[in-house]
Amino acid sequence: MQRRTVVQALALPLLASSIAQSKEVEKGELDYEDYAGDLPNLKLYGDKPALPAETRKAREMLDLARQKTGVIEVARYFESISETNDQGEKYNAAWASRWNPVIIGFYKSTTLADKYVFVRGDTIAWCAAFLNWCLEAAGKPTTKSASSGSFRTYGAEVKNPKAGDIVVFKNSNPVRGNAGFGHVGLFVEQRYNSQRKREEIVVLGGNQKAGKRYSSVNTSAFPLQSDVNTFHSFRRV
């Protein structure tokens, strides 16, 4: 949902102490360090080509996903992926230096030009691309757009969503919101978080951080309103 702001210690020596704090979590899964300050000529991760073996593996996974029935089943397949590349990076998450070819595959469901994708890699926001890919795999209409804002008029708006419906968020900054920025995913449930004293929508989607410093396909809880995004609508095909 948000652009990854990880940095390389060699490229930005001033941030070396921050990068050194990165640690392995969850069976060796790398948790990349974010840099929250100004962005001085920042080089994004995930903009180098995947290795041929990684691309072949990604094709196998994408083909397996197409065999699932239903949008939410397709999405859950990607969420369940635990396989990693040789660096221990999961195939359902953003990678540190090379692009994840599974995510690159999601962009094929959009009108993004290959030339643009192969320059930016998986640093392009991919929540809408992921959802469009899942919809296409399940034989449902798509928006063909990599913008989450394209789903604000998708299908029919519903007030009582069920699992598998689409939930759309609009960026809380009016300028960015009106430009189409936000987030989109599949509705799981709506609940009240008594600890945080807020209503939340649980979302299964791509490009979600789930408490980590990099994005993946996962199930996460989002507040109805925050400084980043505000709930827009529930949609149904």
How far is Cα 61 from Cα 137, in angstroms, rounded to an integer?
A: 13
Is 50 within a domain?
yes
The total number of structural domains that make up the chain:
1
Terminal CA-CA length for the chain = 23
Tell me the C-alpha distance between 95 and 99, whole Å: 6
**72 within some domain:** yes
pLDDT in tens, the chain (237 residues): 443 333 232 232 222 222 223 333 333 334 434 334 443 344 446 778 999 999 999 999 999 999 999 999 999 999 999 999 999 999 999 998 899 999 999 999 999 999 999 888 888 999 999 999 999 999 999 999 999 999 999 999 999 999 999 999 999 999 999 999 999 999 999 999 999 899 999 999 999 988 777 799 999 999 999 999 999 999 998
Q: Calculate helix-pair angle for 71-80, 52-65, nearest 10 degrees.
A: 140
Q: Is residue 42 part of a domain?
A: yes
6 lies in some domain: no
Question: Would residue 5 count as lying in a domain?
Answer: no
8 occurs within a structural domain: no
CA distances from 237 to 61, 113, 209 (A): 26, 26, 26
d(CA 171, CA 93): 23
Does the residue 7 lie in any domain? no
The DSSP symbol for 51 reads P
Domain holding 107, by residue range, is 13-236
The residues near 74 (Cβ < 8 Å, ≥ 6 apart) are 65, 66, 68, 134, 137, 138
Give the distance, in angstroms, between the CA of residue 50 and the centroid of all CA atoms in the same chain. 18
Position 38 in a domain: yes
